[in-house]
């Protein structure tokens, strides 16, 4: 299987080598496309899209990944996924694995995650993808997360339809200590909390480990209990095929628009 590995922690991200080596050990053909520096928190953004924008990239080598093609971009990871999946850099990947992220990506605010954003970008381009995250340093277990990634990729190859995007979070435990693997919805709040403090001249962001408001059976709650959580994320490409008619606001909105008051004196 031709697999593209990316991350949002950059070429020096600690989860890059363990993940890539684990996939190589399974016989996969692996290419790497990562940001030059940490691009966490940029979601699925690709940077400037002004006409004529040029994005610098370079070929790199890592001693622990001999022979692995590595491209480093001055852009968020979703840009590397875009460039790779369009085939401009060589054969199109069959699957994208984003991670291993240094820190959990759970809860509804994962929309800000560049690790998840890169996977969603792949899905929107018709390529299956997995985003995989481990716990916070120094307790993270990249060895366990790499094993989970390999097994998830096995399942993806054998069973997943096109554009499937999975978000996987792995507790800070050895493989033998994991309680299991569970399919989960997103928690109201993630295991990584974000606090904004106001100063006289700035807004300061502060991260903290959160254990409150996780709900029951959610991705964050399950990881906190020692389970691997897997969440299926709808690809943006699926928005063109609204098969589920149980959630369809279009008729009500259209009716409301038709009843919109045309009297210019009416101001909302």
How many helices and strands, by DSSP H and E, does the chain display?
Answer: 6, 11
Name the one residue in this structure whose structure tokens are 């971009």. 73
pLDDT at residue 159 in the model: 86
d(CA 257, CA 151): 49
pLDDT at residue 124 in the model: 92
Name the one residue in this structure whose structure tokens are 């999946």. 85
| Residues lower than pLDDT 50 in the chain | 242-247, 249, 257, 265-268
pLDDT at residue 239 in the model: 56
The tokens for 151 are 């097994």
Exposure on the CB side of residue 209, measured as CA atoms within 13 A:
10
Length of the chain: 268
pLDDT at residue 42 in the model: 82
pLDDT at residue 165 in the model: 93
pLDDT at residue 238 in the model: 63
Q: What torsion, rounded to 10 degrees, do the Cα atoms 159, 165, 170, 175 define?
A: 20
Q: What torsion, rounded to 10 degrees, do the Cα atoms 121, 126, 127, 129 define?
A: 50
pTM: 0.88
d(CA 57, CA 73): 4
205 in helix, strand or coil?
strand
pLDDT at residue 109 in the model: 86
The tokens for 32 are 């790497």
d(CA 194, CA 105): 12
Residue 215: Cβ within 10 Å count? 16
Per-residue pLDDT tens for 10-67? 999 999 999 999 999 999 999 999 999 989 888 888 888 889 899 999 999 999 999 9
pLDDT at residue 268 in the model: 39
d(CA 216, CA 49): 41
Q: What angle do CA 75, 110, 86 make, to 5 degrees?
A: 40
CA distances, 110 to each of 42, 100, 113, 148 (Å): 11, 15, 5, 20
């Amino acid at each position: 299987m031709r697999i593209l590995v990316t991350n949002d922690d950059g070429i020096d991200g600690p989860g890059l080598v363990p993940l890539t080596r684990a996939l190589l050990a399974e016989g996969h053909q692996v290419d790497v496309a990562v940001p030059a520096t940490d691009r966490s928190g940029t979601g699925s953004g690709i940077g400037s899209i002004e006409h004529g924008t040029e994005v610098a990239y370079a070929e790199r080598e890592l001693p622990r990944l001999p022979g692995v093609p590595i491209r480093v971009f001055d852009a968020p990871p979703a840009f590397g996924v875009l460039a790779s999946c369009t085939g401009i850099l060589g054969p199109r990947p069959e699957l994208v694995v984003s991670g291993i992220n240094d820190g959990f990506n759970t809860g509804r605010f994962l929309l800000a995650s560049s690790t998840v954003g890169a996977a969603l970008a792949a899905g929107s381009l018709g390529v299956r993808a997995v985003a995989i995250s481990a716990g916070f340093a120094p307790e993270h277990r990249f060895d366990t997360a790499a094993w989970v990634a390999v097994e998830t990729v096995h399942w993806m190859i054998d069973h997943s339809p096109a554009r499937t995007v999975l978000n996987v979070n792995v507790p800070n435990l050895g493989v033998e200590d994991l309680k299991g693997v569970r399919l989960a919805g997103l928690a109201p709040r993630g295991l990584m909390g974000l606090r904004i403090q106001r100063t006289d001249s700035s807004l300061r962001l502060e991260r903290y480990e959160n254990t409150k408001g996780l709900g029951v059976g959610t991705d964050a709650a399950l990881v906190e209990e020692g389970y691997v959580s897997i969440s299926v994320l709808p690809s943006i490409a699926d928005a063109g095929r609204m098969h589920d008619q149980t959630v369809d606001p279009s008729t009500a909105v259209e009716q409301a628009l038709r009843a919109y008051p045309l009297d210019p004196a009416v101001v909302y």
